[in-house]
């Protein structure tokens, strides 16, 4: 089904949610914080970071310290942030499984941890098991906090930024049609990307998922408010021929009533034949059965480039927050 078409979002207009359009955010907790001018500034900086990395990095931030505080396991996101800070010349304090290897196991609250870690560092990247955990951290932090994923059904805004940057490097963002496929109700990457796409004119989003795992009403209400067209679909074949971008995410088999239905939400060689010749295939990774390895050699498959772009985007974000 599709929603009622309203006045579409203007790509270069001041976001009505924010009266501080020209000002950078102090923290990055949600995708909604970012206006189009801020996104364009971030992407301009990201292009610059590509050149910085090509020459081996910089020492401009050698007196700055990044703390990565991860209460859940992470490889790609944590390594990417740490590499970003080191490429900028800065230093890193790092912990994974923070809840198990700190005094929080004795019921110290995240707020207390953030207050203390903020006195040791200049910026904190936090992954928290509860939706809203990163916001709680930001409310008490004296240094910038970046949300690296909070809970199931929360957000992962820096993943959405590198996703959008990957698309931006390939084609205009205005007028895109995007299929977001997978476990959408709890998919924090999908949720964050939907918020960002809503900021651009004439975007249409197809949410493709088993009915029991469809996108939550809060996202759909936001899209309705901002005049963004969307459709809810249960079969990839209904949309695959018309979309410019396929954003594939995982579906945990145990969350589906009929596991045989998983094939309706997977990208494989037969699906590739139905796609536009210039469509883009993205995935936040890691993948399981929803993205066949035969897709890797297709020129439309950009998920490894997408992951590499994360370094440039996170470097750019760190400079915006630290400058």
May I ask the CATH architecture of the domain 31-155+310-322? 3-Layer(aba) Sandwich (3.40)
At 182-200, the pLDDT tens digits run 999 999 999 999 999 999 9
Number of helices (H) and strands (E) in the chain: give both, helices first: 9, 9
Name 108's Cβ contacts closer than 8 Å, sequence gap at least 6.
102
Phi-psi bin for 145: left (phi > 0), alpha (psi -120 to 50), beta? beta
pTM recorded for the entire structure = 0.88
Exposed (0-12), middle (13-18) or buried (19+): which is 160, by Cβ within 10 Å? buried
Which residue is it, tokens 């939907």?
Answer: 194
Q: pLDDT 10s digit of each residue in the chain, 323 long?
A: 444 333 333 333 334 343 444 467 899 999 999 999 999 999 999 999 999 999 999 999 999 999 999 987 777 899 999 999 999 999 999 876 555 445 444 445 789 889 999 999 999 999 998 889 999 999 999 999 999 999 888 999 999 999 999 999 999 999 999 999 999 999 999 999 999 999 999 999 999 999 889 999 999 999 999 999 999 999 899 999 999 999 999 888 777 777 667 777 889 999 999 999 999 999 999 888 788 899 999 999 999 999 999 999 999 999 999 99
Confidence (pLDDT) at 143: 97
Other CB atoms closer than 10 Å to residue 241's CB: what's the count?
A: 10
CA distances to 16, 136, 192, 197 from 133, in Å:
26, 5, 16, 24
Eight-state DSSP code of residue 297: G
First CA to last CA distance, the chain: 45
Provide the pLDDT for residue 101: 46
In the structure encoding, which two tokens stand for residue 317, read together? 């974000």
Residue 287's pLDDT is 85
User: What per-residue confidence (pLDDT) applies to 159?
Assistant: 97
In the chain, which segments carry CATH 3.40.50.1370? 31-155+310-322, 157-307
How remote is the C-alpha of 289 from its chain's centroid? Answer: 21
CA proximity to 131, closest of 112, 100, 155, 114: 155
Structure-block tokens of residue 195: 């918020």
Q: What is the pLDDT of residues 1-32, one digit of tens each?
A: 444 333 333 333 334 343 444 467 899 999 99
Estimate the crossing angle of helix 157-168 against helix 36-54, to 10 degrees: 80
User: CATH for 157-307?
Assistant: 3.40.50.1370
Q: Cβ-count burial of 217 within 10 angstroms (0-12 exposed, 13-18 middle, 19+ buried)? A: exposed
- CA 155-157-161 angle, 5° bins: 145
The predicted structure's pLDDT at residue 14? 31
**Mean pLDDT, all residues of the chain:** 88
pLDDT, residue 74, reads 76
Tokens coding 26: 């102090």
């Amino acid at each position: 089904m599709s929603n009622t078409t309203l006045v579409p979002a203007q790509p270069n207009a001041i976001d009505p949610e924010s009266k501080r359009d020209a000002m950078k955010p102090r923290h990055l907790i949600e995708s909604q914080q970012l206006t189009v001018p801020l996104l364009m500034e971030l992407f301009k900086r990201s292009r610059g970071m590509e050149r910085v990395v090509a020459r081996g990095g910089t020492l401009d931030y050698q007196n700055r310290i990044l703390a990565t505080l991860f209460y859940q396991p992470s490889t790609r996101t944590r390594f990417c942030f740490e590499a970003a800070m080191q490429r900028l010349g800065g230093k890193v304090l790092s912990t994974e499984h923070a809840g198990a290897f700190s005094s929080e196991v004795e019921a110290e609250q995240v707020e207390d941890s953030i207050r203390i870690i903020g006195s040791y560092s200049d910026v904190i990247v936090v992954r928290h098991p509860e939706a809203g955990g990163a916001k709680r951290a930001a409310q008490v932090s004296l240094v910038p906090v970046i949300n690296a994923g909070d809970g199931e059904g929360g957000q992962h805004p820096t993943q959405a930024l590198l996703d959008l940057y990957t698309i931006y490097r390939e084609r205009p963002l205005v007028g895109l049609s995007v299929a977001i496929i997978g476990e959408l109700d709890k998919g924090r990457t999908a949720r964050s990307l939907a918020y960002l796409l809503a900021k651009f004119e004439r975007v249409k989003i197809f949410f493709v998922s088993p009915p029991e795992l469809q996108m939550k009403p809060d996202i759909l209400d936001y899209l309705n408010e901002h005049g963004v067209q969307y459709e809810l679909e249960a079969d990839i074949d209904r949309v695959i021929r018309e979309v410019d971008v396929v954003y594939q995410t995982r579906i945990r088999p145990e969350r589906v009533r009929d596991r045989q239905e998983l094939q309706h939400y997977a990208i494989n060689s037969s699906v590739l034949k139905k796609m536009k010749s210039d469509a883009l295939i993205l995935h936040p990774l890691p993948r399981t059965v929803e993205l066949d390895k035969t897709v890797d050699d297709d020129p439309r498959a950009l998920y490894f480039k997408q992951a590499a772009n994360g370094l440039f985007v996170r470097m750019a974000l760190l400079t915006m927050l630290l400058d």
